[in-house]
Amino acid sequence: MRIRDWDRNLKIRLIGEFFVGATFWMFFPFMTLYFSESLGKSLTGLLLVISQALSVVTNLFGGYCADRFGRKKMMVFASYAQAIISIFFALACYPKFESPILAFVFFALLGALGSFYYPASQAMVADVVPENERTSVFAVFYTTNNLNVVIGPIIGSLFIDNYRFELILADAIVLGLLGFVIQKWISETAPALQPGAETIVNTNNHWYDVAVEQVKSYTIIVKDKIFFLFIFAGVLLSQTYMQLDLLIPVYVKEVVKKSISVSWLPNIDYTIGGIHLYVPPTIEFSANNVFGAIVAENGLIVILFTLVTTRIVKRFSEKFIFMWSALLYAISMVYIAFTTGYLGFFVAMFIFTIAEIMTAGVQMDFIARIAPEDLRGQYYAASGLRWTVGRLLAPISIMGSQLLGFRFTFLSISILAVFSAWLYFYLFTKADQLYPKQTSNV
């Protein structure tokens, strides 16, 4: 499905979410390192666990609200709310008012509010795109979003030490603009809110009535054993890729303790047409520069190979795709465990990213295939538990590295990835029997 044939809602979101992601990734990958240096590894790990517990709750209500109150309304609310919180977050990082604890509180709230945006945004794609086209549409969003993973960390690594306030403030401005654009130009797509559909929103409900109804709704989803196993396997596997902005930057800081000097040919020092060009024979790279380059490598591989990989993997069964993706994640963790030089991180990240792009688009297509139409938002929100619950557990690795060392911690994570590969093999064998696809894979 060509982008020019997309629904207008998706075209607008594709552009808006790119700019939001670009500014977000200028500071986000470096925040764990900032908090661990300011507050200590143990306290940072504990606070991250608490903040993700909050995200688990908001993620569930985000799906409920997307189905009951509409995709557009929740996306507008989340964008404006994140913009306001980002302003306070920036102020907490301003040198004259700097408070790492307050900064962490706003950082956690920023993540929790994102749980109201993404279930609605993903459900919107399922609302307006035919089932056989969803994989390619999700893949385009995934690829475009990762373009900012290339741009953001590279720019951020140059400015994060001295301009953290300005980078976060820029993100607040872009978030506010996104909310305005969605409010003005995007239309509602929730089936229950379309003309002629029977509305199911009860504005007289109290918040506790909504909470009870929400628990009942998710009890139904938990009874879907295939979907439950899908979430459980995803939580286990998330312990690998969650380390990209948790344990890996801390480990890079340990390995790259000092600036790295890279020497090459003699001085480049020329004057051509009145233009003076000088490149010194030795360039210094800090740990932030190295980590920024590793994250940018991840994003660049995603951009270059996701669409091609998606077309290739569509020839194979979902069981094969998810199982081998998990095994490659395990291999990347083992490689990192035995890496003692910064170049090894780039090799490990290549393997890591290939594992990541194998399931881009396919996982969202699978959820859309098994979810009842009137529960899509809640299914997408529940699928987000792979990340929210995974992120709830992932910070334990930071505390574990202090007690057990980096190598044992990374090896333990790789074992979880291998177990998730077995779970994927089992659940997709069952899923192919219960939820046959419209078009068959080989």
Give the pLDDT of residue 275: 64
CB atoms inside a 10 Å sphere around CB 175: 28
With 50 as the cut, is the pLDDT of residue 442 above it?
no
Give the whole-angstrom CA distance, residue 324 versus residue 322.
6
Give the pLDDT of residue 438: 55
Q: Which tokens go with 105?
A: 């509180």
With 80 as the cut, is the pLDDT of residue 256 above it?
no
Give the pLDDT of residue 208: 63
The pLDDT tens digits of the residues spanning 121-140 come to 988 998 999 878 887 888 78
The pLDDT tens digits of the residues spanning 346-372 come to 999 999 999 998 887 677 778 877 787
Q: What is the mean pLDDT of residues 245-269?
A: 70
**Fold observed for domain 3-194+204-434:** Growth Hormone; Chain: A; (1.20.1250)
Give the pLDDT of residue 258: 58
Cα dihedral 177/183/184/189 (nearest 10): 130
Q: What is the mean pLDDT of residues 30-42?
A: 91
Give the pLDDT of residue 372: 77
With 70 as the cut, is the pLDDT of residue 425 above it?
yes
Give the pLDDT of residue 439: 47
Least trusted range by pLDDT, from 6-10, 398-402, 438-442: 438-442
Stretch (H or E) spanning 271: strand 268-272
CA distances from 442 to 130, 137, 139, 315, 439 (A): 21, 22, 20, 6, 10
Give the pLDDT of residue 411: 95
With 80 as the cut, is the pLDDT of residue 417 above it?
yes
Higher pLDDT, 82 or 209: 82
- Band of pLDDT at residue 41, cut at 50, 70 and 90: confident
pTM of the model: 0.78
User: Do 253 and 287 meet the contact criterion of CB atoms below 8 Å apart?
Assistant: yes
Q: What is the mean pLDDT of residues 72-84?
A: 96
Average pLDDT for the chain: 84
Higher pLDDT, 200 or 282: 282
With 50 as the cut, is the pLDDT of residue 82 above it?
yes
